[in-house]
Amino acid sequence: MLAFLNSCAHWAASGADDLVSWLQTLVYVKVLQPLLFYAGFMDVDEDTFDALYWVIVGVLEIGAMYAILRPLEALVPAEKWRDRKSVGVDAVYTWITRLGIFNLLFFFALQPVFDRAQGWLRLHGVMSVDIDNLWPGVTTVPLVTFVIYLIVLDFFGYWYHRFSHRFGIWWELHAVHHSQRKMSFWCDNRNHLLDVLGQSCMFAAIALVIGVPPAQFVVLVALTNFVQNVQHANIRWHFGWLGERLVVSPRFHRRHHAIGYGHEGTTYGCNFGVLFPWWDMMFGSASFNREIEPTGIRDQLEGERYGEGFWAQQGLAFRRIARRLAAQRRTRGDTRDDASAA
């Protein structure tokens, strides 16, 4: 059975790679290479060709999620809106982040650093992580190693997400994501650019440490992205009692965005799982709820502004950080004054 599943996965991955590679060559030869030649930038010829692979994967991914999820939002919406005007800015975020440039940059920029680090460790007799050979005959099967990579990366993704709610300055960046009151399949990509850089760096670093091959890294990123689009979609979906505990569903993740729960919740929020709810269940942050609740941040109800447009949302995050730091300085000053008076 494992051999059959591995064969199917290999066939699907190979077919997808062939399609993307064909489009990559076609677009490059017909469009980009002539432009580079006339502009005198042929010194970046190879790098441009490699980057184009990620761009095409991103475009295909956006097309697939729109074709599948947009009709579902129209047919079985969790909430009915009179208009989708405020959703437009999230589409801008999607085109910026889903083209894979950030992940590509960090994965390949960090590769030489990890190669040198692994060389130094081997020189001093320290073995590097080699998941492929943990269980010969099992972990040497590509499908098995892919699942292991996915689980390991999701574990770190859970903690990255949870910490972004725990620490005030970090939260002010992540709040850009939570400030959307109309959740849709575009919403996953609504993030502050500094937060995107942090996530991309962490994701690439962990992938390199555990030895994820470049080809599988592309698939891991694309799969994770698409599943998160499903989670944020404005659809009335759940996966049943068992399914809700195996994979993060739109209902489970909507609880994370619910006013009064997602950021506050049990301590600093709930349902942080990226793909799997296991970590929430294991570390006491799971909250299963069937209700369709309003989403956003509590202080938005009190008039706090998070911005309607892309640049306003980016800038207001820095303003909130400055305000928080100023409040912390005042608190420290008051504490010192009280201590002096005593």
Give the pLDDT confidence of 223-278 residue by residue, as tens digits. Answer: 888 999 999 999 988 888 899 999 999 999 999 999 988 776 546 789 999 999 99
Predicted TM-score (pTM) of this structure: 0.83
Confidence band of 312 (pLDDT split at 50, 70, 90): very high
Instruction: Determine the structural domain holding residue 319 and report its residue range.
Output: 2-6+26-341
Percent of the chain with pLDDT strictly greater than 70: 78
β-sheet bridge partners, residue 238: none
pLDDT at 12 over 60: no
Question: How much is the average pLDDT of 209-232?
Answer: 85
Closest by CA to 210, choosing from 138, 147, 278, is 147
Structural domain contains residue 11: no
Confidence band of 1 (pLDDT split at 50, 70, 90): low
Question: How much is the average pLDDT of 176-187?
Answer: 94
Write the CA distances from 78 to 184, 263, 267, 271, integer angstroms.
10, 21, 26, 18
Task: Assess contact for 158 and 166: CB atoms under 8 A.
Answer: no
| 28: its two tokens | 């490059």
Which residue type is seen at 203?
F
Q: How far apart are CA 207 and CA 205, in angstroms?
A: 5
Structural domain contains residue 16: no
pLDDT tens readout for residues 34-62: 887 777 767 767 767 777 777 888 888 89
Number of Cβ within a 10 Å radius of residue 323: 11
HEC readout, 314-325: HHHHHHHHHHHH
Alpha helices by DSSP H, 179-308: 193-209, 214-232, 240-243, 250-257, 278-282
pLDDT at 163 over 60: yes
Question: How much is the average pLDDT of 279-289?
Answer: 92
Write the CA distances from 231 to 151, 167, 239, 244, integer angstroms.
18, 24, 11, 12
Structural domain contains residue 106: yes
| 295 or 133: which leads in pLDDT | 295
Structural domain contains residue 21: no
Q: What is the mean pLDDT of the chain?
A: 82
204 class by beta-carbon count within 10 Å (0-12 exposed, 13-18 middle, 19+ buried):
buried
pLDDT of residue 280: 95
Task: Assess contact for 24 and 53: CB atoms under 8 A.
Answer: yes
Place of tokens 């989708």: 84
Q: How far apart are CA 27 and CA 24, in angstroms?
A: 5
| 298: its two tokens | 């509590």
Q: Which of 124-138, 183-197, 226-240, 305-319 has the lowest mean pLDDT?
A: 124-138
258 class by beta-carbon count within 10 Å (0-12 exposed, 13-18 middle, 19+ buried):
buried
Q: How far apart are CA 47 and CA 61, in angstroms?
A: 22
Confidence band of 152 (pLDDT split at 50, 70, 90): very high
Confidence band of 218 (pLDDT split at 50, 70, 90): confident
Nearby residues of 131 by Cβ (< 8 Å), 6 or more positions away: 139, 145, 148, 149, 210, 211
Q: How far apart are CA 285 and CA 307, in angstroms?
A: 29
pLDDT at 339 over 80: no
Structural domain contains residue 15: no
pLDDT of residue 260: 82
Confidence band of 18 (pLDDT split at 50, 70, 90): confident
pLDDT at 221 over 70: yes
Q: How far apart are CA 203 and CA 275, in angstroms?
A: 14
Nearby residues of 38 by Cβ (< 8 Å), 6 or more positions away: none
Which residue type is seen at 190?
R
Structural domain contains residue 141: yes
Task: Assess contact for 293 and 255: CB atoms under 8 A.
Answer: yes
User: Based on the structure, what is the number of domains in the chain?
Assistant: 1
pLDDT of residue 67: 95
Question: How much is the average pLDDT of 281-301?
Answer: 90
Q: How far apart are CA 258 and CA 269, in angstroms?
A: 10
Q: How far apart are CA 26 and CA 49, in angstroms?
A: 11
pLDDT tens readout for residues 92-144: 999 888 775 565 555 555 566 666 766 666 676 656 566 766 666 666 677 78
Structural domain contains residue 18: no
Number of Cβ within a 10 Å radius of residue 278: 18
pLDDT at 304 over 80: yes
pLDDT of residue 128: 59
